[in-house]
Structure 1
């Protein structure tokens, strides 16, 4: 039997929460607010970068898109977060089927569960409220809670460890997410399980290339994966 995994760090959009194109729609609103019109080469290039960096802290994405203009990056990020929040409030936000039950099972088994995001706290809270998830996990974290860098840095995973004190060894952490940045974050933190899920942005090849130890159809498969690993199967 292997060491028990007592800390589980889960991404939100694309992993436990369906994205349904909301990131791209919110980006469109932010881009237009800063004068980047759909149909232009600049818009297409920026959208391609947004797609490639799913899972990364959104302010970091906008700092790349508006390199050298911190004011523009911050305004774009504010427009993005406002647009995403409006979409969530309008009802365009649903859980990945079975995600709530998976979190409840993990906690019932005595594991600490932390939900993380690349969004700002205000957007994360809007999602949690819309889904009725404000008390679902033991802890929720956004990049600002972990020093501001977000993914692909390991900061949110390590902050989860420090805040919860659920484990004394990073190898007893499981990280699950739908993007390459999630995988890189988990790997950099030294997590024993870094599970990619296929309900979001990136495919199996991208997840494995970025360091996934396992690739699952959905986060709902994670409790069984941990149980099998701990039973030595």
Structure 2
């Protein structure tokens, strides 16, 4: 029986609408790398390929020094937060109802992100979701971000699920799938509302691919009835 659902935010429960790329463009522009430059094209391709990964980890891979990575990550978080404050943030259709349905059935919910804690709380505040989930986590609170299993395992410990097999993970990227597989989650569900398509999600180990997170309660509750 699934006791805990660990859900990604941007692209899974929260619309992205290109905000990550827009914030990245602003952040890397502060380092003197602008759209149209070959270096920018290389970097944005990497950002797209690693959607779902901890953002500071992405910047570590893209720039040469720790100081530059930290500066770029700070600029990214600032730009993303500004976009959220400007109203460029909304829930995936049906996501809030899905979370409430899971909780009504006794399944605890953790919302996870690759952003910093301050940005995560900015998003939750903008949506009025401060008290929606049982737990919210970012990489710094768990140890490491995706594709490592740390956030899933911390959620299991904090919310006291009985076993990793009783955890469902849902996300829109291959990194979300890898995280769920590495954590040993019983269900690792990809959703088609974000960065990666069905083939990428399946290749990364998805046990199920859903049109949207709104379909997750049906999957988990059907499985509960089968048990």
Same fold (TM over 0.5): yes
List structure 1 runs of 4+ shifted beyond 4 angstroms.
none
Distance (Å, rounded) in 2 between the aligned partners of 1:171 and 1:208: 19
State the Cα distance separating 1:227 from its structure 2 match: 1.2
Distance (Å, rounded) in 1 between the aligned partners of 2:2 and 2:221: 9
Query: Secondary structure, in 3 states, of the residue corresponding to 2:16?
Result: coil
Q: 2:158 aligns with which of 157, 163, 179?
A: 163
Residue 63 (structure 2) aligns with: 66
Residue 92 (structure 2) aligns with: 96
State the Cα distance separating 1:169 from its structure 2 match: 1.0
Residue 206 (structure 1) aligns with: 200
Summarize the alignment of residues 171-190 of structure 1 with structure 2, pairs less than 5 Å apart. 171-190=165-184
Structure 2 segments unaligned to the other structure (5+ residues): none
Residue 8 (structure 2) aligns with: 11
Structure 1 segments unaligned to the other structure (5+ residues): none
Distance (Å, rounded) in 1 between the aligned partners of 2:112 and 2:6: 7
1:153 partnered with 2:115 = no
Q: How many residues align?
A: 227
Q: 1:107 aligns with which of 103, 125, 130?
A: 103
What per-residue deviation string (whole Å, max 9, x for no partner) do you get for residues 160-191 of structure 1?
011111x1110000000000000000000000
Distance (Å, rounded) in 2 between the aligned partners of 1:125 and 1:109: 26
Distance (Å, rounded) in 1 between the aligned partners of 2:186 and 2:24: 34
Q: 1:23 aligns with which of 20, 24, 29?
A: 20
Query: Secondary structure, in 3 states, of the residue corresponding to 2:226?
Result: coil
Scaled by the length of structure 2, the TM-score of the pair is 0.99
What per-residue deviation string (whole Å, max 9, x for no partner) do you get for residues 13-35 of structure 1?
00000000000000000010011
State the Cα distance separating 1:231 from its structure 2 match: 2.0
Scaled by the length of structure 1, the TM-score of the pair is 0.96
